[in-house]
Amino acid sequence: MIPSEIIKKKRDGEELSTEELKFFIEGYLKGKVADYQVSAWCMAVYFKGMSPREIRDLVEIIGRSGKLLDLSDFDLPKVDKHSTGGVGDKTSITLVPLMASCGFLFPKLAGRGLGYTGGTIDKIESIPGFRTNLCLEDLKLALRRSGAIIAAQTEELAPADKKIYALRDVTATVDSIPLIVSSILGKKLAVGADAWVFDVKVGKGAFMKEMDKARELATFLISISKDLGKRVCAFITDMDQPLGNNVGNTIEVEEAIDTLKGKGPADLTELVLSLGSELSTLANKPLSREELYEKIVKGEALQKLADIIEAQGGDPRVLENYNLMPHAPYSFVIEADKAGFIESVDAEKIGLAVLSLGGGRKRKGKEIDRGVGIRLFKKRGDKVEKGEAIAEILYRSESSLAEALQFLKSAYSIGERCSIEGKLIYEKVL
Ligand code: URA
């Protein structure tokens, strides 16, 4: 088979056979298909889509592109969660220890930032020493020690996703339903928990801007997961504005830790408790939101995060001393140019501002700056006075600040009255 013929076939809107998809993706892993060919193919998929059969095949090819993590010797209910990508979304860093503190095994394979959205792996690596690139043996060891892991795709686990993901990040091919579904489910398949919950984001800062697209994505995730024999559910949740108040790698970890201390923002806390309660039900060990919150109040969820950090080589002292994580040296405060109510805080613009500051990648493999970010002091529905601080930019260079300001200035919209009804969880898809 010839890679360019496969690209051409997809470019022309034709369906690729299982063999063609296997040849192309496996060829990429073996170095027989080049980065630029996979980039072109991703763009063809972006425009022409894939049939349900192709998507299902791609999930299997990506999921089985390395080894499968065998969890059969763990005698705990096994759960997993994945978000379709958002801005300020530190849910996994909060939910994983919370569920592990309740006795669930949580093998979380996560990703780096994609486009203008952040990634759990980039964030958690703000913790000094924290290793996300674990071999299978170390993964299992860490799971035994803490009951949970937060790790990246590796050469052993879903390596095809690792490579394709990095390309999509920088080639404007993230927001494609077939590519998102195969990326997420490929990772889930490789680690093989039994109950999965999906957080499908919708809105300005999500890859799905419209509700019907979010429903389509949720439906694909659910139907293929069920085919794979999993107990699953999806929540469609708001990503018009960022989740929580902090956007940027280190400061999002800080916010996740605050949430495990019971001092987190209301929206993040609500989302974590809702996803967790649902996940516990799917795993046949139902816990209410109140029971989950008890684990936070008693400090058990925070202790579990300390265990996870230690098991993955990180420094758990960060839980009490945020200064151990990287921070940008300068800050710039944005003030409201008029009095009124915040009508919207455009999550995509906030994400692009953080990317401009160096918090995400403009090129494949580029080092990111974990210390930069944006703290939002005001969110949708809040009242502001003229000249009041609405956000703070943490930055390292004047040129990046200037670029970020371009996005940030138009991210906030202030109206005369509080007319916008915000909702966090729109619906549940089964
Ligand atoms: N998360 C993933 O792992 N992959 C995507 O494509 C989007 C979100």
User: What are the residue boundaries of the structural domains of the chain, listed by start?
Assistant: 3-49, 79-157+169-319, 326-415
Residue 363 has pLDDT above 90, yes or no: no
Q: Which atom of ligand 1 is nearest to the CA of 168?
A: 6
Burial 201-222 (b: 16+ CB within 10 A, else e): bbbbbbbbeeeebbbebbebbb
Q: What is the CA(138)–ligand 1 centre distance, in A?
A: 24
Residues with catalytic annotation? 82, 161, 168, 183, 187
Residue 184 beta carbon below 6 angstroms from any ligand 1 atom: yes
The CATH number of the structural domain formed by 326-415 is 3.90.1170.30
Amino acid at 173: T
Q: What is the CA(323)–ligand 1 centre distance, in A?
A: 30
pLDDT grade for 419, boundaries at 50, 70 and 90: low
Residue of 83, 164, 184, 197 best suited for mutating to test ligand 1, as the one with most atoms within 8 Å of CB: 184
Ligand 1, atom 8, lies closest to the CA of 84
Q: Cα–Cα distance between 405 and 366 in angstroms, integer?
A: 22
Please tell me what DSSP assigns to residue 423. -
Amino acid at 307: D
Q: What are phi and psi of 394, to 5 degrees?
A: -100, 120
Residue 109 beta carbon below 6 angstroms from any ligand 1 atom: no
Residue 111 beta carbon below 6 angstroms from any ligand 1 atom: yes
- 196-205: pLDDT as tens digits: 999 999 999 9
Q: Cα–Cα distance between 187 and 64 in angstroms, integer?
A: 9
Q: Residue 366 has which token pair?
A: 């580029």
pLDDT of residue 283: 98
Residue of 174, 191, 237 best suited for mutating to test ligand 1, as the one with most atoms within 8 Å of CB: 174
Residue 85 beta carbon below 6 angstroms from any ligand 1 atom: yes
pLDDT of residue 366: 86
Please tell me what DSSP assigns to residue 430. -
pLDDT grade for 420, boundaries at 50, 70 and 90: low
Q: What is the CA(198)–ligand 1 centre distance, in A?
A: 11
Q: What is the CA(185)–ligand 1 centre distance, in A?
A: 9
- 22-79: pLDDT as tens digits: 999 999 999 999 999 999 999 999 999 999 999 999 999 999 999 999 999 999 999 9
**pLDDT over 90 percentage in the chain:** 96
Q: Residue 100 has which token pair?
A: 């592990």
The CATH number of the structural domain formed by 3-49 is 1.20.970.10
Ligand 1, atom 6, lies closest to the CA of 180
Residue 114 beta carbon below 6 angstroms from any ligand 1 atom: yes
State the average pLDDT for the chain. 96
Q: What is the CA(416)–ligand 1 centre distance, in A?
A: 38
Q: Cα–Cα distance between 55 and 233 in angstroms, integer?
A: 19
- 242-280: pLDDT as tens digits: 999 999 999 999 999 999 999 999 999 999 999 999 999
Q: Where are the beta strands (DSSP E) in 87-179?
A: 106-110, 148-152
Q: Where are the beta strands (DSSP E) in 184-261?
A: 195-202, 231-238, 246-247
pLDDT of residue 311: 98
Return the CATH number of 79-157+169-319, one of 3.40.30.10, 3.40.50.1220, 3.40.1030.10, 3.40.50.150: 3.40.1030.10
